[in-house]
Structure 1
Amino acid sequence: MRYITVEKFRSVSASEQHLEIVERKGLGHPDSICDAIMDAISVNLCTEYLEKFDAILHHNIDKCLLVAGETAGIFGGGVMVDPMLLVIGDRATFKAEDIEIDVANIAVDTAKRWFDEKLRFVQPDFVEYQVELKPGSAELTDIFRRQKGILGSNDTSAAVGYAPLSFTEQAVLDMERHLNSSVFKEEFPESGEDVKIMGVRRGSKFDVTVAMPLIDLFVDSEQHYFNMKQEIFRSMNAYLAGYLEKNNVQMNASISFNNLDIPGRGMEGIYTSVTGTSAEDADCGQVGRGNRVNGIIPLNRPVSSEAAAGKNPVSHVGKIYNVLSHHIAARIVEKVPDVKEAYVWLLSDIGVAIDSPKVAAAQVIMNKGSVDSVAREIEEVIDFELEHIQDFCMQLARGMIPVC
């Protein structure tokens, strides 16, 4: 038996609050790079473990530092002076049943492929790698040997997720995805991948601030930069206007773009990049400092403190419950009539099977009717998802569910 509670959420929905602040760190942001690469390494290790042992072995690839390099920006194409350094750390299983796993090469090869596929202007010699992965502790590693099937939790950890995204949250998420889409990059190849968006809604006023470098290879002069910036700015405004119309939302919307630019200062007064990411010379990156598992940084919402990226997907509740709480909340809104907004809280008990959390609680806002009238249905949704947690974990292991 699982102890599941359902109650009313004691506040108004996010969309009814006067103020919303939402951030999205895009594909090429240093923090996002760390999250994405570490989780890709975990996925590839899971694949290797499953092929060799028909089981996912202990690993947590969730410590990473992307150390910024040094570039010399030049009109017409700058150069990389000192490469970036990607430090990959924490724990993994290197040997089992007298079979060795080449963890270090899997990690580095995964990172190299990610840079090659995602960042158009990062050349192979622009990044160096330092692997600091070591075998796990005996007690945590033994969790994977104690039982077949559903494993015990490796930690006592809490998570909270919610659904649905508000308009502000969805708009910020979608705009970054648009600016980093293949369609946009084909139209504006000079736009870099390090897109950061901050959205603030005050009542019916929606302001969006965008930071996105232009690749200096395409920039002939300061004036050329501002001309291209103006074209991109027009495209952003057209996109946002169309987005509001498509979603039938009446708001007074505005966009600011690369606000630090100052004409007359040459390269020092404009936002350009050699590689498309500020990790080239301005900003280091680290796992857990970027987006939450639903892709945004929502300042109005309760959020989990754990960094999910890179953690193993079968016993580390810092990953499993973090993502699952959002998944269950979405299922409640989808399946239970008249639920407007749902928050789901999960708390593990170390050593106890992950399908039996110490706390499984839902807090909901209704469109109409009472929480008591749908409490049983909500409990059934939560119970069903916990019953099928192994399937969910395997989706995480295969990289089918994004965590950043």
Structure 2
Amino acid sequence: MTNNIIIGNLEDDSIEMAERKGIGHPDTICDEITEQISTELCRYYIEEFGAIMHYNVDKALLIGGQSAPAYGGGKIIQPISLIIAGRATSHIKDKKIPIEEIAVETAKKWIQKNIRHLDISKGIDIVSKIRPGSADLVELFNRFGKGEIPLANDTSFGAGYYPTTTLEDKIIGIEQLLNAPRTKNRFPFIGEDIKVMGVKDPSKNYFTIAMAMVDKYIADLNDYITKIEQVRVFVTTSLNLSGSTIYINTADDYDRKSVYLTVTGTSAEHGDDGQVGRGNRINGLITPYQPMSLEATSGKNPVSHIGKIYNYLAMDLSRAVVENHYADYARVFIVSQIGKPIDNPQILHFQLKNRKVEKKEIEMLAKEKLKELSGYWKRIIYA
């Protein structure tokens, strides 16, 4: 960039930035594990009792460990700590529900599947601190078990937009390419902890990639430098990014021999902490130039937790508006009041670009989507 300070107008879309955190990023690990625990709890409740019970397991803190990476293979000195917290129905009549066991085993299975070089027996300690829910929120939830429209368990909002921009699509494409199984087979030294920041200015796109490198596949500094360049060429050619500038591991200092080397493929092994809600929104992106809710969706109950289902609804509605050719671009904002039926929001607001139909057609679409809300949990847990 020739000038790092840019002064523009609100209508100017020539400048843009967005970000995506990959599957091995500490924040994404927390998000993904709590969401998987949520899904497993739902399935357990349904199998054992025929209905989902009250719970929210949307809190997790990953405390980075300590490691000593080295060319050819280093070692873990102190394991990562993962603390999972939330609220869940743990007893129904005389039956005790193994909440802690479900949480811990689900976390272990997820790590084994997704972070290939992290040994769950030595590299991470997992602790579950899930406790019973408050009586008033449990009572709000009981309507669902009776077949009634659930009541919102929070005063919160959801936000969504469609379509995504070209820059956003390329950011997603880069991360998915680098974490694809075929890429790991070709370049086994690429870890799962990948973050992609994309910036657009009037002249071109710039992508900054933070990519954990697995030490046992790298012989020395020269080999590291060679492999970084191999990845740069691979990304550029695979995604047709020849007109863009790609930076990889910009914190590296080759003169000081300081590079992004890891034992496990994630920065969580050495001091990089993680937390639910600090990562990607449900569309897989962090978008300061687009509407998004800071509400964490991961781990929340998909039946009545507005912080989850209204964000899904906002994304679905904005997509439906565009795909039905009602407008070229849509933003949707929807807010609840605690204790009110989830299909009766306080307000549902559309912001549209180039609307092509009468407002009543969009109102009908919104009403149809609101009718589907009581069944949203099925598409979330059985996705």
TM class by shorter chain equals over 0.9
Are residues 1:80 and 2:79 paired?
no
1:379 aligns with 2:363: yes
Find the partner of 1:130 among 102, 127, 131: 127
Shift of 1:378: 1.1
Give the SS at the match of 2:191: coil
Q: Is the Cα contact below 8 Å between 2:303 and 2:376 reproduced in 1?
A: no
1:172-220 superposed Cα distances (whole Å, 9 cap, x missing partner): 1111011100111111010011000000011241000001021001111
1:63 corresponds to 2:59: yes
Question: Larger deviation: 138-147 or 53-62?
Answer: 138-147
Q: Residue 37 of structure 1 corresponds to which residue in structure 2?
A: 33
Q: Which residue identity lines up with residue 21 of structure 1 in the other structure?
A: M
3-state DSSP of counterpart to 2:19: strand
Query: Offset of 1:313 from its aligned partner?
Result: 0.3
Q: For the residues of structure 1 that align with 2:174 and 2:130, how far apart are their CA atoms?
A: 36
Structure 1-normalised TM-score? 0.89
C-alpha separation in 1, matches of 2:93 and 2:353: 51
* Matching residue of 1:6: none
Quote how far apart the aligned CAs of 1:239 are: 2.3
The separation in 2 between residues aligned to 1:167 and 1:230, in whole angstroms, is: 25
Residue 256 of structure 2 corresponds to 265
Moved over 6 A (4+): none
**Residue identity opposite 1:309 in structure 2:** S
Task: Give the match's secondary structure for 1:194.
Answer: strand
In the other structure, the counterpart of 1:98 is 94
Deviation at 1:74, TM superposition (A): 1.4
Distance 2:363 2:45 in 1: 35
SS at 2:254 equivalent: coil
Question: Identity percentage over the alignment?
Answer: 38
Matches within 5 A, 1:101-116: 101-116=97-112
Is the contact between residue 70 and residue 261 of structure 2 (CA under 8 Å) also seen in structure 1?
A: no
Contact 1:308 1:318 in 2 (8 A): yes
- SS of 1:297's equivalent? coil
Q: Verify the 8 A CA contact 2:214 2:262 in the aligned structure 1.
A: yes
Instruction: For residue 144 of structure 1, report the CA deviation from its aligned partner.
Output: 2.3
In the alignment, what sits opposite 2:5?
A: none
Is residue 2:301 matched to residue 1:316? Answer: no
Given that residues 63 and 271 in structure 2 are in contact (C-alpha distance below 8 angstroms), is that contact kept between their aligned partners in structure 1?
A: no
Structure 2, unpaired ranges of 5+? 1-9
The aligned residue for residue 300 of structure 1 is 289
Q: Which amino acid counterpart does residue 259 of structure 2 have in structure 1?
A: I
CA distance in 1, matches of 2:333, 2:260: 41
Partner of 2:349: 361
Match of 1:278 among 257, 262, 267: 267
Confirm or deny: 8 A CA contact 1:159 1:305 kept in the other structure: no
SS at the partner of 2:110? helix
Instruction: Work out which of the residue numbers 377, 380, 383 in structure 2 matches 1:393.
Output: 377
Task: Give the conservation status (yes or no) of the 8 Å contact 1:336–1:378.
Answer: no
Two-structure CA RMSD over aligned residues (Å): 1.6
1:120 to 116, 123, 140: 116
SS of residue in 2 equivalent to 1:224: helix
> Which position in structure 1 is the counterpart of 2:3?
none
SS of 1:71 mapped into structure 2:
strand
Normalising by structure 2, report the TM-score. Answer: 0.94
Q: Which amino acid aligns with 2:334?
A: L
Counterpart residue type for residue 383 of structure 1: K
Question: Offset of 1:396 from its aligned partner?
Answer: 1.4
Q: Which residue of 2 aligns with 1:200?
A: 199
Residue 7 of structure 2 aligns with which residue? Answer: none
Q: Which runs of 5+ in 1 are unaligned?
A: 1-10, 245-251
Q: Deviations over 1:68-96 (max 9, x none)?
A: 00111111101111110100001111011
Mapped to 1, the partners of 2:310 and 2:172 lie a distance apart of: 22
Does the CA contact (< 8 Å) of 2:85 and 2:130 recur in 1?
A: yes
